[in-house]
Amino acid sequence: MLNKKHLVTCTLCTFILTGCGGSSSDNSNDNMPLPSFSLSVSDAPVDDLTEVVICFNQIELKSSGGDAVFTIGNESGMIATNDLCLDNDGSVIPNTVGIDLKQYTGSDSIALIEGISIAAGDYTQLRLLMSDGSYGTDAQTNEKITISVPSNELKLDAFTATLGGTVDFTLEFDLNKAMTNPVGQAGYFLKPRGVRLVNNNEAGHIEGTVSETLLLNNQCTPLSDSSVNVASVYMYDGSNVAIDTLEDNGGDENKSLPYTSTAVTFDSEQTSYNFEIGFIKAGDYTIAVSCDIEDDPEIDEEINFITSQNVTVLAGSSPVQVNF
């Protein structure tokens, strides 16, 4: 089932590592402060799991001038280790922190690194190294199910850090795209296709509602249970994207694939049907509503959209309000 809450917003926040870790180049100007680096994590969880615990071990910044490597628990300013990540013998895996992505939704985030400075220069890649021990908890049986990450690492985009500047990213885990549960194979797989690196200085957020009248008129089934999805919202790059070209997360790559997607759920306090999407690159988008709530990212499924509208996301502002 599709449920697009921001799963972890692991915020690798402002890395200002002075005197520890590696550096990509020599600082030739002692009068300018080193760049500040921040990284966060955010996402949307899958519905059949009550927990999605991902185990982080290292952050690596690749550069031709020398790599910078930061290990969980070894550097001042990094998040502390915890005991959520266990090996096959049940022992705690050292230098790891397990974060339940489902605890962080919308624009919320948790800092992996804070106050660590890095050398100025061009970084060819940001890599997040994962340890073993990631798992999900089945909503029906409470059973823990293994989550595997290919090669135990996520390779992300290049960036440039300038003297006196701030590099502030959020690592957005869009589990609706990334999380798969292959038939005949044990456990879930977390694939990098659903993970994107968002520059927080160029990003905004959306909060929205869907009217009960619209849901009823289109044979959606409004519910009073806030834990159950009522409908889905999909977001596409660009304005005025034709509704008959919109695809699902596993759709035809020659058509309009979603930038992201999320669930519409009932808010009992506000008696409204709400959705939220965080850490979106500023720009123009088409956003569409569907009564369909199932979307396997491995399968091209038919999604019926009932309406759409344009939205412009602004960087650094209050969340954009979208109402259907």
Give the model confidence (pLDDT) of 46-61 as tens digits: 667 888 999 999 999 9
pLDDT digits (tens, 9 = 90+) for 69-90: 999 988 777 899 999 999 999 9
Question: What percent of the chain has pLDDT above 70?
Answer: 88
Q: Which two tokens stand for residue 298?
A: 């491995």
Residue with token string 């519910």:
223
User: What's 205-323's CATH class?
Assistant: mainly beta
C-alpha angle 112/118/124, rounded to 5°?
90
Query: What's the pLDDT tens digit per position in 138-175?
Result: 888 889 999 998 889 999 989 999 988 888 888 888 88
What integer is the mean pLDDT of 262-279? 88
Rounded mean pLDDT of 57-70?
A: 91
Burial tier of 183 (Cβ tally within 10 Å: 0-12, 13-18, 19+): exposed
Model pTM score: 0.79
- pLDDT for 130 equals 93
Residue 287 has pLDDT above 60, yes or no: yes
Instruction: Indicate whether 260 pLDDT > 60.
Output: yes
Question: How many percent of the chain have pLDDT more than 90?
Answer: 43
212 SS3 class: helix
- Where helices occur in 4-117 by DSSP H, the ranges are none
Quick one: which of 53, 50, 109, 52 has its CA closest to 84? 53
Amino acid at 8: V
For residue 192, the model assigns a pLDDT of 83
User: What per-residue confidence (pLDDT) applies to 14?
Assistant: 34
Most confidently modeled range among 7-11, 169-173, 274-278: 274-278
What SS3 class is residue 78? strand
Q: What is the pLDDT of residues 100-126, one digit of tens each?
A: 988 887 777 888 887 788 899 999 999
Q: Kind of pairing, strands 179-180 and 188-190?
A: antiparallel
pLDDT score at 44: 56
User: Strands 272-281 and 116-117, how do they pair?
Assistant: unpaired
| Type of residue found at 254 | N
Residue 43's pLDDT is 62
Q: pLDDT-derived band of residue 229, with 50, 70 and 90 as boundaries? A: confident
pLDDT, residue 211, reads 94
Q: 276 forms bridges with which residues in the sheet? A: 207
Q: What is the pLDDT of residue 85?
A: 96
**pLDDT, tens digit (0-9, with 9 covering 90-100), for 10-53:** 333 333 332 233 334 444 456 778 887 777 777 655 667 888 99
pLDDT in the model for residue 47: 67
Q: Where are the domains of the chain?
A: 10-201, 205-323
* The pLDDT of residue 312 is above 60: yes
- Judging by DSSP bridges, how do beta strands 144-148 and 188-190 pair with one another? parallel
Taking residue 37's Cβ as centre, other Cβ atoms within 10 Å add up to: 30
Q: Tell me how far apart the alpha carbons of residues 300 and 305 are, in angstroms, rounded to a whole number.
A: 15
How high is the pLDDT of residue 3? 39
Please state, as a whole number, how many other Cβ atoms lie within 10 Å of the Cβ of residue 28: 8
Mean pLDDT of the chain: 83
State the pLDDT at residue 10: 34
Cβ(295)–Cβ(248) below 8 Å: yes
Count of all residues that appear for the chain in the document: 324
Distance between CA atoms of residues 260 and 277, nearest Å? 8
Q: Dihedral, CA atoms, 23, 24, 29, 35, nearest 10 degrees?
A: -70
- Check residue 195 and give its pLDDT: 87
Per-residue pLDDT at 184 exceeds 50 = yes
